[in-house]
Copies of this chain bind each other. A is one copy, B any other.
């Protein structure tokens, strides 16, 4: 029904482990629709569109595209460039010059705002263009979709990281570990670290959510309680966590268009713990590795990302522009999801916070409802095996020691 022409796909914002799977889906589905005469990829997102930096994806070998589909990061390159009114007009002129009739924009809620603007500009300029959004964000903060492609992979990365750092923390004990998780404004990824837990004593012992301020005294009290009980403590905290004064615990910050980002938050929290509770504390910040690793991609995430790409092409050639592809969870006991569509207006620039109902009363853990929501996406995180407790009877009189056996002296820090 739609006017034949070229389709352009562009990536926006931070890459994920599966955005290339969506690209693969687009590539595969585009080949099945004669309305799409050629498929172009814009290099480096909207910035590439504005420079006419297009790559002909139609000419890429199938085998290569299958391999690229399994690679993390963005094969096209992405961009954080924000568009101006002048940019929008230019985009439409460029599309007109190349006979581009389909524009697929793969990004988060900010990008859906851009997609909406492009669609509006085309309408104003009386240019026939189908604009379809494809969800992508590790933050899982898009409305109208059950979850976003990219989130399950990053969630699995951080949950696996917490499990492994937790095993290390258990083996050496006597230490507090603060693990910084991606997520500036929303706690979806921090929440997912709960899946690392098989028994209540497993890490993470505390999870915090940037949706709520975290008073310093509450934080220290929480850590102290866990440490007193277990002789160790692993904390998952978002990079954007703020204290009771709306400050990042004295961490350095970087300001940006979407708010400020604390750059060494976990380190500051570890310093707080060390100085105020007088215990060994350190911090880890896997950072961007959490969105760029290919080691923790759940099959569900990869398949869904690819399906979202395919669905976007189908929506575009059916004249369903102005919408974003969504993931719709079937109300079954077994996990199944299909794709749907939501108007760009309903998702653009809007943020879905981690639900207050899925935080526990103390504000330092998730509820079982969240675990039920996330487990089918992230997959089970197998616990490392432990030895059977065949202890040996002591033969010596017990030697008195001023040390607690679980703790190592704070002054000896050889690795």
Contacts and interface: CB of A to CB of B under 8 A. Distances in A.
Nearest to A94: B396
Contact of A170 (B73, B81, B94, B98): B73
B68 A387 contact: yes
A384 B171 CA distance: 35
Contact of A295 (B13, B97, B296, B405): B296
Contact of A287 (B77, B97, B284): B284
Interface string A376-393: 000000001111111110
- Among A55, A267, A387, A405, max chain B CB count under 10 A is at A387
Given A52-B394, A392-B55, A384 B90 contact: no
Given A73-B168, A97-B395, A288 B384 contact: no
Q: From DSSP, what is the main secondary structure of chain A's interface residues?
A: loop
A168 B291 contact: yes
A330 interface: no
Interface string A259-273: 001011001001100
A360 B31 CA distance: 49
Nearest to A8: B392
A5 interface: no
B267 A388 contact: no
A348 to B, nearest CB: 13
A409 B15 contact: no
B385 A67 contact: yes
Contacts of A413: 80, 254-258, 261
A345 interface: no
A254 B270 CA distance: 12
Contacts of A409: 80-81
Identical subunits present: 2
Contacts of A164: 72-73, 289, 292-294
A134 interface: no
Interface stretch (A40-48, A220-228, A333-341): A40-48
A174 to B, nearest CB: 8
* Contact-size category for A: 35 or more
A77 B285 contact: no
Interface in A267-281: 267, 270-271, 274
Contacts of A257: 411-414
A173 B97 CA distance: 28
Nearest to A386: B75
A54 B44 CA distance: 59
A263 B252 contact: no
A105 to B, nearest CB: 15
A5 to B, nearest CB: 14
Given A267-B264, A390-B55, A411-B256, A405 B73 contact: no
B267 A55 contact: no
B284 A288 contact: yes
Interface in A1-27: 11, 13-15
Interface of A: 11, 13-15, 40-41, 44, 47-48, 50-57, 59-61, 64, 67-68, 71-82, 90, 93-94, 97-98, 108, 110, 137-139, 160-161, 164-165, 167-168, 170-173, 177, 182, 184, 252, 254-258, 261, 263-264, 267, 270-271, 274, 282-289, 291-296, 384-392, 394-396, 399, 401, 405-406, 408-409, 411-415
